[in-house]
Copies of this chain bind each other. A is one copy, B any other.
């Protein structure tokens, strides 16, 4: 087949997949710019319908008119737990075990600082060298602050190197389920079991998991988890993050505690008495605006079957790999992600020596993915609003850019502050 035959076959396949797509109508909940193929929902999800109106109402009426009475009247006080319960449904957790609050980084600090005292005789935290850096930074600073022999043990790949790193000095293992660069996905159930067999605690970062595929925190043995509100959950730029504490650890206590986690915040007693359950992981006054946006955004996941979300994100990725590998053959791109969708998150990455410029050229032509140093171009496949046809179009545009070297322009090589 020549290129045009290949393209025709890919498009026919994509159109058929779109016809059969059980999630197709969810796309109507979003209003993406027409000229854009948005493959960066794994970095910043778009606003579902209703979010902007909700913000306008919360700011204009609840804040502007009801003012301070809104804490009771408009139930602002319950936002962290109400939003947490909605997220719990997406990540396979009982409602009361999840709270929406703070940033992912801060939640890593909270759960790790709560986990370590549960294994008081152990001093090692295991993570991956390629983990999203903030998880490592948080851990390094926390362990340095604790002193007392605490240490971070880094491994290259939990899928292969974990067992060798586990011994009776390991208190906790902190892993991001989906590698932010390659999309490699860990099996939560078997990895958690291996961690538990070694007597350690399993802490999962779900940054690229929540909303992207089926997650079963309770069933798969997670001890603690954190995750991001602004990627697949579409909660807005810098949306509140979430944290999960398995019921068996509800008596654990984070090192970072504030009045929102007190058993009776408005008693204003000088001594800290932690709230029952996961509420003790709340700290300061939460952003009502940001939590409100996230709450409405989560309606897009209302009554959804996460198995079909997982099936579609896998199929979108499979189609993209097939399309790129056939259309861009010999053009200098190599797959950086697992080919097998069962061990891949809802993203596909390729390496290209001029990855940064290639991504700028793609963005200039309306295909929005992102770049991760040193050479990774990354494409996210959010299953709620993407169509299969878009995936083939994106691969075609990439192939044209590579073939014509359209990326080879000075303006595509100037690094922006945020890449």
Contact = CB atoms under 8 A, between A and B. Distances in A.
A269 B154 CA distance: 13
Interface string A357-379: 00000010000101011000000
Interface stretch (A100-108, A323-331, A395-403): A100-108
Contact of A290 (B43, B261, B289, B363): B289
A199 interface: no
Contacts of A291: 238
A38 B67 contact: yes
B55 A258 contact: no
Contacts of A134: 258-260, 283-284
Nearest to A31: B64
B238 A288 contact: yes
A347 to B, nearest CB: 14
A301 B257 CA distance: 32
A87 B99 CA distance: 30
A233 to B, nearest CB: 13
A236 B55 CA distance: 12
Given A67-B38, A113-B145, A285-B238, A59 B262 contact: no
Contact of A268 (B36, B43, B372): B372
B286 A256 contact: no
A142 B283 CA distance: 13
A259 B133 contact: yes
Q: Chain A, interface size: which category?
A: 35 or more
Interface stretch (A44-52, A160-168, A302-310, A313-321): A44-52
Contact of A238 (B104, B268, B289): B289
Interface string A47-80: 1000110011001101111011111100011000
Residue from A76, A241, A253, A417 whose CB has the most chain B CB atoms within 10 Å: A417
A68 B55 contact: no
A293 interface: yes
Contact of A103 (B113, B136, B285): B285
Nearest to A107: B284
Nearest to A33: B65
Interface of A: 31, 33, 36, 38, 40, 43-44, 46-47, 51-52, 55-56, 59-60, 62-65, 67-72, 76-77, 102-106, 109, 113, 129-134, 136-138, 140-142, 144-148, 154, 230, 236-241, 253-262, 266-272, 283-291, 293, 363, 368, 370, 372-373, 416-419
11 contacts: A33-B65, A46-B63, A59-B236, A63-B236, A77-B417, A106-B106, A132-B259, A133-B272, A134-B283, A141-B255, A142-B256
Given A102-B284, A239-B287, 16 more contacts: A46-B64, A52-B64, A62-B237, A67-B368, A76-B238, A77-B417, A106-B106, A113-B145, A137-B261, A138-B283, A147-B148, A236-B287, A236-B289, A238-B291, A240-B287, A289-B293
